[in-house]
Amino acid sequence: MSIAVLLILAIAAFLAGLAGSYLGVGGGVFLIPFMTLALSVNIKVAIATSLIGVIATSSGAASVYVRDHLTNLRLAMFLEVATTLGAIAGALVGLGVPDFYLYVVFGVGVLYAASTMVRVRETAKERAYRGGEESPLTQRLKLSSVYFDQEDQGVYRYRVERPVAGFGVSAAAGLFSGLLGVGGGFIKVPMMNVLMRVPMKAAVATSNFMIGVTAAASAFIYYSRGLVDPGIAAMVIIGVFSGTNLGTRLLVHAKSSNVRFVFALFLVVLGTAMVARLFFPGVPI
Amino acid sequence: MQQRVSHLRRAVVAEVEDINRLIYHVLRAGVVVSVAILVFGFVLVAFTGHSIPDRSIPPRALGQPLYTFTPEGYLSLGVLILIFTPVVRVLLSLVSFARERDRQYVLMTAIVFANLLVSFFLLA
């Protein structure tokens, strides 16, 4: 790897960290195709590097969101049980079904989430607490929480819905991320926001908090198999960390409806690429 | 205005359990220390004339390269510190839930931690 290529990689990592921290994803979905296509890095090395980038995004961004009380720590821990179990299951038994089913399911799921996020703009009214019964599991696990939004200087109390469904989707997301070397944030954010009705910023922050743990487990496996290239990884970590410093600042002050809209665009591109893979098997993620 | 904002923020802080501060510091410190060591590794590349390494060193074999100040050693150490930051964070959550005597969450965090150990020691 020449110095010039490493510098290009650092810039790409900066952008991945910026987008990743703003959207609550690890940035692996940007880094893996970039490294394999533009820099012709070996796919295994690219996955290993991306996992490390995911940890850097997560730790860099999550620290700020935890400090600003955007992160729902209990919800994160509850769902992490599912993601880590899913990741181990994926590593142990593989999938058992051809992986294009996974692409179809998640491709369609992601496009559906995108359409919901565009149709419903998340304004203060939608963020506000709704009356009615809390599900027994949510109550028992004290999943519902409260956060402070810089956008309109308001405190929002929110209720977490459909915890069981969320747990199931998280397990599937864990399976997926172990296989592909991504944090799975692109599944977790819409799952929390659309399915569990967690406000967008809290969903982004909580997803960011979770993806580091899932990625750490897989990253160490790649590391001990000698697939981590320390020069490349170091550049990615430095780039991503700088990116998260900007991205977190943007998110905290952003309008929730804008974050949702940008996320929906991101999902449309991603979902289309996933579905396109069925017809053109060469398309990376 | 500023006063009202800080008042609202305090209301939130009071309601959400305050291990947040500690987790913030651990995550932040993990990344900052990792980045500092990696930058040091690149400084060593520049000054010792070693080429940028392309293979990581297994944790057990790290002693020698660190002692002799080779870039391989420091770049690998920086990456490893980053990988272990989320693990330390989970351990910290375990302690704080235990202090709150929240049995359900102690159990859940313990499962997450056990899963991490399984993937570190059995699958690696």
From chain B, the residues in CB contact with A229 under 8 A are 53-56
Q: Which residues of A touch B59 (CB under 8 A)?
A: 224
Residue A249 in contact with residue A61, Cβ under 8 Å? no
Percent of the residues in chain A that have a pLDDT greater than 90, as a whole number = 32
ipTM for this model: 0.86
Question: Residue A214's pLDDT is what?
Answer: 84
- Compute the distance between CA of residue B88 and CA of residue A27 in angstroms, rounded to an integer: 22
Question: Cβ A231–B54 below 8 Å, yes or no?
Answer: yes
Q: What is the DSSP string of A207-236?
A: HHHHHHHHHHHHHHHHHHTT---HHHHHHH
What was the pLDDT predicted at B9?
A: 66
A37 vs B105, more confident: B105
- Give the range with max mean pLDDT: A31-45, A195-209, B11-25: A195-209
Answer whether residue B5 is part of any domain: no
Give the other-Cβ count within 10 Å of B60's Cβ: 7
Residue B57 domain-assigned (yes or no): yes
pLDDT at residue A182 tops 70: no
Tell me the nearest-neighbour CA distance from A268 into chain B, angstroms: 30
- Scanning the structure block, which residue is given the tokens 């010792």? B48
Average pLDDT for residues A182-205, to the nearest whole number? 89
Residue B97 included in any domain: yes
Q: Domain limits at B43?
A: 19-123
Whole-number pLDDT of residue B65: 81
* pLDDT at residue A96 in the model: 57
Give the integer Cα–Cα distance in Å for B52 and B34.
17
Is pLDDT above 90 for A67? Answer: no
pLDDT in tens, A47-59: 889 889 999 999 9
pLDDT at res. B85: 94
Per the domain annotation, does B108 fall within a domain?
A: yes
Calculate how close chain B gets to A56, using CA atoms only, in Å.
7
Residue A126 has pLDDT above 80, yes or no: no
Residue B12, domain member (yes or no):
no
- Residue A149, H or E segment: strand A145-149
What letter would DSSP give residue A138?
H
pLDDT at B78: 94
Give me the total of CB pairs closer than 8 Å, taking one residue from chain A and one from chain B.
Answer: 183
Are the C-beta atoms of A48 and A223 separated by less than 8 Å?
Answer: yes
Tokens of A23: 């959207």
Q: What is the mean pLDDT of residues A203-229?
A: 88
% of chain A at pLDDT higher than 70: 87
pLDDT digits (tens, 9 = 90+) for B43-80: 988 888 777 777 778 888 888 888 888 888 899 999 99
Asked whether residue B50 is assigned to any structural domain, the reply reads yes
Mean pLDDT of chain A: 85
Tokens of A83: 């993601």
- In a domain, residue B13? The reply is no
What does the pLDDT read at residue A119?
79
The three-class DSSP label of residue A238 is: helix
> What are φ and ψ of residue A149, in 5° steps?
-105, 120
- Model pLDDT, residue A270: 84
Domain presence at residue B43: yes
A129: pLDDT strictly greater than 60: yes
The predicted structure's pLDDT at residue B124:
60
- Of the two residues A282 and A220, the one the predictor is more confident about is A220
Q: Are A174 and A86 in contact (CB under 8 A)?
A: yes
Which residues of chain A neighbour B13 with C-beta distances below 8 Å?
Answer: 69
Cα dihedral A260/A263/A265/A267 (nearest 10): -130
How many domains does chain B contain in total?
Answer: 1
> Which segment of A19-28, A196-205, A244-253, B18-27 scores lowest on mean pLDDT?
B18-27
Contacts of residue B100 in chain A, CB cutoff 8 Å? none
**Minimum Cα–Cα distance from B4: chain A residue:** A153
